[in-house]
Amino acid sequence: MAQRLVLRRLFSLTPRMLPLQGQRMLPGPLAPCGPLAPHGRAFGTSAGCRSTFNVQDGSDFQDRVVNNPKPVVVDFHAQWCGPCKILGPRLEKMVAKQEGKVLMAKVDIDDHTDLAIEYEVSAVPTVLAMKNGDVVDKFVGIKDEDQLEAFLKKLIGA
């Protein structure tokens, strides 16, 4: 179990944390998606890649979610959760459609039990809408695309 956790964390590290020798990094919001290839083209620069990230630990959550000037949707999920496997990609797709107006943080409750307890997550999937470090909205369970769109529009004020 410990080995799997170490490997999962290693593979989920962003290139910003593990730079590849001899390659340049993209500035700004594209940095977590990957380095530039030698010919200058970027890999993984889709809107979904730029707007969705995995939370690494409590301080990462504080930096990238609580202290973020943009609204952030926080998806508390678990790998063993069937509904999470349905909601996660659906939510990522809807966040990507917002073209950077909102970000999405993914928190695995098995890896970050302390965050789940702090934000009173009692079932998964639980999705929080956060603005300026405060929870402004929340839902538990699966939603269809229309409901997710309404949830996001309410969060960004559109």
Q: How many helices (H) and strands (E) does the chain have?
A: 6, 5
Element (H, E) at 86: helix 82-97
Q: Which of 33, 55, 72, 81 is catalytic?
A: 81
Q: Which of 101, 108, 106, 96 is nearest to 131 (CA)?
A: 101
Catalytic residue among 26, 49, 72, 84: 84
Asked about 33 being catalytic, the answer comes back as no
Is 121:84 a contact under the CB 8 Å cutoff? no
* Listed residue (67, 65, 69) closest to 127, CA to CA: 65
Instruction: Please name the residue that has the structure tokens 């999937």.
Output: 125
Known active-site residue 81: yes
| Burial label, 108 (beta-carbon count in 10 A; 0-12, 13-18, 19+) | buried
Residues designated as active site: 81, 84
